[in-house]
Amino acid sequence: MSEYQSITSEVDGNVGILTLNKGDRHNAFDEQLIAELTDGLHEMEADQRVRAVVLSSTGKSFCAGADLEWMRRAAGYSHEENLRDAHHLARLLSTLNELAKPTIARVQGPAYGGGVGLIAACDIALGTYDASFALSEVRLGIVPAVISPYVLAAIGERCSRRYMLTAESFSAAEAYRIGLLHELVPGEEQLDEAIAEILDRLLANSVAAQAECKALIRIVAGQPIDEQTREDTAQCIARVRASPAGREGIAAFLEKRKPHWNGD
C-alpha cells in the first residue's frame, strides 16, 4: 500500500478500508486529500484481495466539504486553475461511483458539500443518529456542480431543489427518509456492527456478478423502457448466464450447495 498523508489505507481480509484522516480539519477536501483518495480507490480496485471497500473517517466529522485554506487559495485562481481543481474532484467522484467493487460509506458525523457527494457516490451508506448534512454551496456564492449528478441520483430532483437552494442543514433521519442513507444506528459501535452484517452479505456473492450489476445500474438508470433498453438488458443476462460465475451460481442453487466463486 502507498504512503499517504491525508488518508489511511488498509486491507482487512477481503475488505479494503479507506479512511479520511484529517480529523483536526474535519476531513475537509483539499488538493492532496482528493488526489490521495483517488489513488487509494485505484489501488483497491487493482488489489485482488479486496472484494468490497468501506469509506470512513476519523474525528467528529465525516467530511466538512472544502477546506478553508484551499478555498482561500482558490479565491485567487484563474479560470484554468479552477477548472483543473474541478476536474480532479470530478475524477475522484467518478472513480468512486464506477468502482467495480461494492462501496460502503461509514458516516459517523457531519457531512457538508463535497462530503455529501462522497456519500451519494457510494453504493451503500450507513450513518449514526447524530450525523448531519448540508449542501451549503449557495451560502458561499457557489454551486454544488460536480457532485450534483450523484446527489440527484441519490435523493432525486425534488429534494435536491430544496436542499441545494436553501443550503439548510438536515438530520440523519431526513437523510434516511430521502434516500441518502440506507440505514441509521445509534452510535459508532452499532455502525460497525451494521456494516459488518452488510459486508457478510456482499462477500457471499459473486465478484463478477456484482461488477456486472453495478455497470447495469449505471446504464439503465433514467433510461426509458424502450426497445433499446429491452435489447440491452436481454443481451446482459444472456452474457452473464453463460459466464463462469453464472454457470456456477445456478449449478450451486440447483444442487443445494454453496457456490465456489474462487474470486471469480
Contact between 184 and 173 under an 8 Å Cβ cutoff? The reply is: yes
Nearest to 108 by CA among 38, 50, 195: 195
**In percent, how much of the chain has pLDDT > 90?**
71
Q: Which three cell numbers stand for residue 130?
A: 447524530
Q: How far apart are CA 230 and CA 211, in angstroms?
A: 20
Backbone angles phi, psi at 106, to 5 degrees: -105, 100
Residue with grid cell 449528478, as numbered in its chain: 149
Residue with grid cell 470512513, as numbered in its chain: 56
User: How wide is the angle at C-alpha 123 spanned by C-alphas 217 and 15, nearest 5°?
Assistant: 125
Q: How far apart are CA 237 and CA 233, in angstroms?
A: 6
Tell me whether residue 137 is one of the annotated catalytic residues: yes
- By DSSP bridging, strand 124-128 and strand 183-185 are parallel
Alpha carbon distance, N-terminus to C-terminus of the chain:
23
**Residues in the chain with pLDDT < 70?**
1, 262-264
Q: How far is CA 251 from CA 200, 242, 243, in A?
A: 22, 12, 12
State residue 1's pLDDT score.
64
Query: DSSP states of 203-255 as a string?
Result: HTS-HHHHHHHHHHHHHHTT--SSHHHHHHHHHHHHHHHTSHHHHHHHHHHHT
Contact between 111 and 125 under an 8 Å Cβ cutoff? The reply is: no
148 CB contacts (<8 Å, ≥6 apart)?
160, 164
State residue 263's pLDDT score.
59
Q: Which position among 3, 31, 80, 137 bears the catalytic label?
A: 137
Q: How many CA atoms lie within 13 A of 260 on its CB side?
A: 1
Query: DSSP states of 17-73 as a string?
Result: EEEE--GGGTT-B-HHHHHHHHHHHHHHHH-TT-SEEEEEE-SS-SB-SB-HHHHHH
Q: Which three cell numbers stand for residue 179?
A: 434516500
